[in-house]
Amino acid sequence: MSLNCSLWQENSLSVKHFVFAKFSEVTEQCFLLFTLILLMFLASLTGNGLIALAIWTNPVLHTPMYFFLANLSLLEIGYTCSVIPKMLQSLVSEARGISREGCATQMFFFTLFAISECCLLAAMAFDRYMAICSPLHYATRMSRAVCSYLAMVSWGVGCLVGLGQTNYIFSLDFCGPCEINHFFCDLPPILALACGDTSHNEAAVFVVAILCISSPFLLIIASYCRILAAVLIMPSPEGRRKALSTCSSHLLVVTLFYGSGSVTYLRPKASHSPGTDKLLALFYTVVTSMLNPIIYSLRNKEVKAALRKTLGKKKF
């Protein structure tokens, strides 16, 4: 497939198709990377799918904590499916092109799932805060209606941000080159291809990152500061251990997701490099999604019991 932009645009002012950059010119390296990413992708789909299925089909897990965990698993499935299939195709074939409309669609869904996950992780931290710091009022304050509302807000914010950012960026003209120096239609590499002054668009991306990454993260930190203070004054060592155990898995997921996302979207533009950005994006689109089911299932007896029941096995 030629990278000559004249083949991809209807006029000299607006590129209508893009081409993803090659990962490597060495075929063996691309095949090895394809195999590793495919295995992680399948592991992520299987793990997250099983957790969501186990939670929805086992009444004992119909609690706020597991309701949010099921939503997180669904977000992870959508998150990886919006990016990985096209990347796998680009690794082993010359069909690395994507239309302007296809690129916009991919950006919308990626942004939707990413922002929704940021908000949902904050809702999960609030749930743990209420369970540990206000146990007597937990059942009323974290009712099914409240949990549904928090989940709908998380998905709704993701949808609105995805629509807004995608529309704002793709209202620009793209003069070329048409090669995206990335493996999916992420916001910064697409903005790098736009014509003219993109400072307002870059500012919008930064503001959204502050509001939708930093703000939920600060809420999570505030929740866990209160949780830690409550745990330290618990008289029972067993109570402290149980409280910390229910929070440790969520904290690990937050660290992995927010760590890579913050470095990608909140560091100065001058410090960005295509190689580092690709490595970070690979981490938070594939590795984190694969690790989440492992983190929650291996550290949670109730999830393991539900998975055993769902799979119909005696041992898990």
Query: Is 12 a domain residue?
Result: no
Q: Which residues pair with 179 in a beta bridge?
A: 19
Query: Tell me, what CATH number does 282's domain have?
Result: 1.20.1070.10
pLDDT confidence of residue 4: 46
pLDDT confidence of residue 137: 86
Query: Is 233 a domain residue?
Result: yes
For 263-308, the pLDDT digits (tens) are: 766 666 666 666 677 777 788 788 888 888 888 776 677 777 777 7
Residues 6+ away with beta carbon under 8 Å from 93: none
Query: Is 182 a domain residue?
Result: yes
Query: Is 14 a domain residue?
Result: no
Question: What is the distance between the alpha carbons of residues 194 and 81, in angstroms, rounded to a whole number?
Answer: 26
Instruction: Determine if residue 95 is left, alpha or beta; phi over 0 gives left, psi from -120 to 50 gives alpha, anything else beta.
Output: beta
Query: Is 108 a domain residue?
Result: yes
Question: What is the distance between the alpha carbons of residues 22 and 19, in angstroms, rounded to a whole number?
Answer: 9
Residue 208 pLDDT exceeds 80: yes
Residue 3 pLDDT exceeds 70: no
Query: Structurally, how many domains does the chain consist of?
Result: 1
Query: Is 21 a domain residue?
Result: no
Half-sphere exposure of 37 (CA within 13 A, CB side): 27
Instruction: Give the domain extent around 298.
Output: 26-311
Query: Is 242 a domain residue?
Result: yes
